[in-house]
Amino acid sequence: MTGDAMTGDDIAVAVTGMHKRFGALEVLKGVSLAARTGEVISIIGASGSGKSTLLRCIPLLEVPEEGEVAIAGEVVRLRMRRGTRHPADAAQVNRLRGLLGFVFQSFNLWHHMTVLQNVIEAPVHVHKRPRAEAVAEAEAILEKVGMADKRDAFPAHLSGGQQQRAAIARALAMRPRALLFDEPTSALDPELVGEVLLVIRDLAEEGRTMLIVTHEMAFAAEVSTRSIFLHDGRIEEEGPPTRIFRDPQTERCRQFVQRHLNR
């Protein structure tokens, strides 16, 4: 995948030929993937298959040894320095990172700030938006994720599901081109999973561009426009969720989906 496939107007996020090693361990072995605007891509695969590493390479939280990343049609410039690859331009990486929203497994809210303060932090301090405007937008977003009544609460006083919905609100406040979710419900008590999945489903219905790593197979099958099965650092199978979840073509994907659907 080169040229237009990565940088076309409607490509929100693209990676191509990505290899990532940790010491002797090659975690990504040539992954290419492009998310068009409005696509919801679910990424499934066994623990250790490289899902989180793939997601972390997109905002360059990890720098791949080989391959390229493009965000909103702009290729991130990388260069070799003392034998390792680094972003060539930190300002470019910061700017492009600002176009993405992340929601991780553990609710990474700032604990000394209220929900509202968490949500307006980046708009005010990174995007330099007027505070009153950021607050008005944050209130609308909190309403949308069902957290309006918790705007002045501190994270420690919230349930895991509420914290995760606040984290989603914070990501949305960046007005992101794409949202990246890494197992957003896997740290939650089972009874709190549904409320978070409902919020993510609403975002899918709004046509938000999302990459979602999840073990919630029924949810992935329902919300995604495309699914990717990662195995041992490679895309083993990719296609419409109806095929991946109901009629997988590879034996490995079939077994993986079977095991997880029956849980």
Interface with ligand ADP (CB under 6 A): 22, 25, 27, 45, 47-53
- Considering the complex, state which of residue 64 and residue 155 has its C-beta at the smaller distance from ligand ADP: 64
Task: Return the bridge partners of 68, or none.
Answer: 16
Q: Helix, strand or coil for residue 54?
A: helix
Residue 64, sorted as left (phi over 0), alpha (psi -120 to 50) or beta, turns out to be: beta
Geometric angle at alpha carbon 164, from 160 and 169, rounded to 5° = 145
- Considering the complex, state which of residue 151 and residue 256 has its C-beta at the smaller distance from ligand ADP: 256
Residue 46 tokens, joined: 């066994």
- Considering the complex, state which of residue 11 and residue 103 has its C-beta at the smaller distance from ligand ADP: 103
Minimum Å distance from CB 48 to Mg ion? 8
50 binds, among Mg ion, ligand ADP, none (CB under 5 to 8 A by kind): ligand ADP
Considering the rule CB under 5 A, would residue 16 count as an interface residue with Mg ion? no
Asked if 248 and 254 count as a contact pair (C-beta separation under 8 A), the reply is yes
22 binds, among Mg ion, ligand ADP, none (CB under 5 to 8 A by kind): ligand ADP
- Considering the complex, state which of residue 11 and residue 230 has its C-beta at the smaller distance from Mg ion: 230
- Considering the complex, state which of residue 52 and residue 114 has its C-beta at the smaller distance from Mg ion: 52
Q: Which stretch binds Mg ion (CB under 5 A): 45-53, 74-82, 134-142, 232-240?
A: 45-53
Query: How many Cα atoms within 13 Å fall on the side-chain side of residue 62?
Result: 20
Minimum Å distance from CB 144 to ligand ADP? 28
Minimum Å distance from CB 67 to ligand ADP? 15
Site string for Mg ion, 47-66 (x = CB under 5 A): ----xx--------------
Name the residue among 97, 96, 98, 77 with its Cα closest to residue 88. 77
Q: How many residues bind Mg ion (CB under 5 A)?
A: 2
Residue 125, sorted as left (phi over 0), alpha (psi -120 to 50) or beta, turns out to be: alpha
Backbone dihedral angles phi then psi of residue 97, each to the nearest 5 degrees? -60, -35
**Where along the sequence are the contacts to Mg ion (CB under 5 A)?**
51-52
